[in-house]
């Protein structure tokens, strides 16, 4: 069933100079799934996302998205093809307002009505952002900034949303809220690739998961299976 998946990575190898960060990653996502990629520090989770988004150029291997080979796409081409990435550490524009940050997410849309419709949709998930429209992004709390970063990604109306450690540095109750919203977005049709060190919560909401170790996928399975897997429990859920 080659080429039938929504997103598919085949034997992707990526480098930083001479350092090999990915040693041949194989993974796929079907439309409508939440798939999580878990692993410890430096395992290659972010590099996998960056290889998909085009920030890192794979040296070998293939990445197919929605029937198209995107292996060599630049980041803006990947974005236009329908893949949005919420980077690790959020990276919102601190000096711009919430409104301006959201507008930047829809930079490719000229029609103001479409932009405001998308904004309303974002407010449906994150009512807090509507209350804070004129606040500078950098003065928001960590959780609010994460909401803004996800909201900004949603403004491009992606077909695939990639989240890089959305739980990082957030209080457990905020993490729970964010994960609930991720689940909600998925219920409404969004396909999601979720990178997490917070394996337990990620596996709870994921249909399937992959475990990455030093640049290789070492385990894959249903979220529920991985959660009870002895190896996973020892390494990531301790």
Residues contributing to the site for ligand ATP (CB under 6 A): 16, 19, 21, 39, 41-47, 88, 197
Q: Where on the phi/psi map is residue 48: left (φ > 0), alpha (ψ -120 to 50), or beta?
A: alpha
Q: Select 46 or 103, whichever has its Cβ closest to ligand ATP.
A: 46
Is residue 69 a contact partner of residue 63, using CB atoms and an 8 Å limit? yes
Nearest distance from residue 26's CB to ligand ATP, in Å? Answer: 16
Task: Please say whether the beta carbons of 159 and 83 come within 8 A.
Answer: yes
Q: Write the DSSP symbol of residue 135.
A: S
E strands of the chain, at which residues?
A: 7-16, 19-29, 34-38, 60-65, 68-69, 83-86, 160-164, 191-196, 208-213, 216-222
Nearer to ligand ATP (CB atom), residue 46 or residue 53: 46
Q: Is-contact 108 80, C-beta < 8 A?
A: yes
Nearer to ligand ATP, 39 or 151 (CB): 39
Q: Is-contact 84 153, C-beta < 8 A?
A: yes
| Least CB distance to ligand ATP at residue 189 (A) | 27
Taking the least distance from each CB to ligand ATP, the nearer of 43 and 154 is 43
Of the candidates 6, 23, 5, 84, the residue with the CA atom closest to the CA atom of residue 59: 23
Quick one: 32 or 89, whose CB is closer to ligand ATP? Answer: 89
């Amino acid at each position: 069933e080659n080429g039938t998946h929504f997103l598919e990575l085949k034997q992707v190898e990526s480098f930083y100079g001479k350092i090999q960060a990915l040693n041949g990653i194989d993974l796929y996502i079907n439309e409508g799934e939440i798939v999580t990629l878990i692993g410890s520090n430096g395992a290659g989770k972010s590099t996998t996302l960056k290889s998909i988004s085009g920030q890192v150029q794979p040296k070998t291997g293939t990445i197919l998205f929605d029937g198209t080979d995107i292996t060599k796409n630049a980041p803006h081409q990947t974005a236009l093809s329908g893949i949005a990435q919420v980077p690790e550490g959020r990276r919102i524009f601190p000096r711009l307002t919430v409104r301006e940050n959201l507008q930047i997410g829809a930079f490719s849309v000229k029609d103001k009505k479409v932009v405001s419709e998308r904004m309303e949709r974002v407010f449906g998930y994150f009512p807090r952002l509507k209350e804070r429209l004129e606040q500078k992004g950098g003065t928001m709390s960590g959780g609010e900034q994460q909401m803004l970063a996800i909201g900004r990604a949603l403004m491009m109306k992606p077909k695939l949303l990639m989240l890089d450690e959305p739980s990082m540095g957030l209080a457990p109750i905020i993490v729970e809220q964010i994960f609930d919203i991720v689940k909600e977005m998925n219920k409404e049709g969004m396909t999601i690739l979720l990178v997490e060190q917070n394996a337990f919560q990620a596996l709870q909401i994921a249909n399937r998961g992959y475990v990455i170790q030093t640049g290789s996928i070492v385990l894959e399975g249903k979220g529920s299976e991985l959660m009870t897997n002895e190896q996973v429990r020892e390494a990531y859920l301790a």
